[in-house]
């Protein structure tokens, strides 16, 4: 899958999650794929980020497609926490894990259709 197709799939997943779980209230202005990122203190491996100021999601370019989708759903979880739940801490906790699991499960049908082509 080339970069244009990955970006199209990422927007398809984002729009699906926004419609299904957020009543179209989630704002993501940009999704980008990056090659490297400067790690902040305390972070392990960085596969992506959500910037709450610019409403942007970044996903590492050189990881597998499934890792990119998992990263997208993870960052959409942070966006959900920030924008829908009005939680500015963007923490990793049990509630966040439940949201992430719902987002991942809801992408299954999209992936089946997109990857079968």
63's CB contacts (< 8 A; 6+ apart) are: 47, 71
Any idea what the CATH number is for the domain that residue 25 is in? 3.30.2010
- Residue 112 pLDDT: 74
Residue 40 backbone zone (phi > 0: left; psi -120 to 50: alpha; other: beta): beta
Q: Which residues pair with 58 in a beta bridge?
A: 32, 49
Domain count, the chain: 1
Q: Which domain holds residue 13?
A: 3-115
Task: Quick: pLDDT tens for 64-103.
Answer: 999 999 999 999 999 999 999 887 766 677 888 999 999 9
For residue 111, name the pLDDT band (cuts at 50, 70, 90).
Answer: confident
- Residues 9/114, Cβ–Cβ less than 8 Å: yes
Q: Which residues pair with 48 in a beta bridge?
A: 59
Identify the residue with better confidence: 109 or 29.
Answer: 29
């Amino acid at each position: 899958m080339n970069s244009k197709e990955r970006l199209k799939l990422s927007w398809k997943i984002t729009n699906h999650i926004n419609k299904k779980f957020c009543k179209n209230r989630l704002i993501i202005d940009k999704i980008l794929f990056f090659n490297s990122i400067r790690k902040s203190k305390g972070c392990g491996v960085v596969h992506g980020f959500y910037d709450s100021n610019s409403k942007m999601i970044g996903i590492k370019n050189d990881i597998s497609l499934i890792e990119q989708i998992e990263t997208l759903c993870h960052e959409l979880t942070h966006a959900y926490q920030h924008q829908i739940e009005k939680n500015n801490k963007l923490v990793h906790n049990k509630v966040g894990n439940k949201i992430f699991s719902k987002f991942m499960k809801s992408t299954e049908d999209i992936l089946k259709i997109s990857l079968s082509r």
